[in-house]
Amino acid sequence: MIVQTIRSLIFYVFFIGITTLLAIPMGIYSLVAPKFSGYPIVWLWYNSNLFFLRLFVGIRSKIEGEENLPEGPCIIASKHQSDWDIFALLPATGKRPSFIAKKQLLDIPFFGWAARNFHTISVNRKKGREALPQMIEQSKEAIKHDCRIVIYPEGTRKAPLAEPNYKWGIAKLYTELNIPVVPVALTSGLYWPRNSLVLWPGTARARYLEPIEPGLDAKEFHEKLQSVIEAETDKMIFEDLEKGISLPISEAFQSRIDQRKSA
């Protein structure tokens, strides 16, 4: 535990360092530059952090199912367990990523300016349901620019095997935008747990599943999206557990494991 804590702290120093180092010039550049022109800097940030994860904490990354990504604009709807998820999904967006993010992130100087260069969609959670029309309008504008929109349907990170809570915003986007939705299952919470300073070695995986084509009603889509993501995520987590993981299993996590096995 002590050794892994030290390794994790070293990673965070480099992670925060490279993010700050690139965000400042990129943020200034984005104030005057055309949208999406800073993608080479984003790619440098992505590759640097994957390298730091392998080098300092022993986390490798594996992405599967990329053949399920359709041509052109789509919505990538992913399970969310860790900050690793951003790294995992970035390549699938091509050179026109459009992440849905909370407004507070975009208000950060330099970082927020840089994020806006990539048509990041701002959501003010304080407005509740009133924020939904703005999110839809921004998403429609992103689609006009051939973006692939990335959204975490639960709105926040969840611990592995925690009870799901999919918001209805994703169903509204699906019915309004009339483009395919690609579900994503992953296991990142086993290696980079939420609200934890300690990262654990292993291979974090993300898997793109078959797209859900337009045409379902909101309720049917909502149920299908949650069903396919949760089933595949549980399957992948149990695959990793059977192989063995370095993450110490807490009583709460063991309880969730036992509940899933008995279901």
Quote the radius of gyration of the chain (alpha carbons, Å).
18
Output 195 or 6, whichever has higher pLDDT.
Answer: 6
| Residue 29 CB coordination number (10 Å) | 15
Please determine, for residue 102, whether its predicted confidence score (pLDDT) is greater than 90: no
pLDDT interval class at 109 (50, 70, 90) = confident
In contact, 211 and 230? CB cutoff 8 Å: no
- Quote the pLDDT of residue 220: 97
CATH topology of domain 1-262: Glycerol-3-phosphate (1)-acyltransferase (3.40.1130)
- Quote the pLDDT of residue 132: 87
* Amino acid making up residue 43: W
Output 25 or 33, whichever has higher pLDDT.
Answer: 25
Residues 6+ apart with CB under 8 A from 43: none
Question: In terms of pTM, does the model score above 0.75?
Answer: yes
Please determine, for residue 40, whether its predicted confidence score (pLDDT) is greater than 90: no
Residue that has been written with the tokens 């840089």 in this structure? 114
Convert the pLDDT of each residue in 198-245 to its tens digit. Answer: 999 999 999 999 999 999 999 999 999 999 999 999 999 999 999 999
- Quote the pLDDT of residue 129: 73
In contact, 148 and 77? CB cutoff 8 Å: no
Output 36 or 96, whichever has higher pLDDT.
Answer: 96
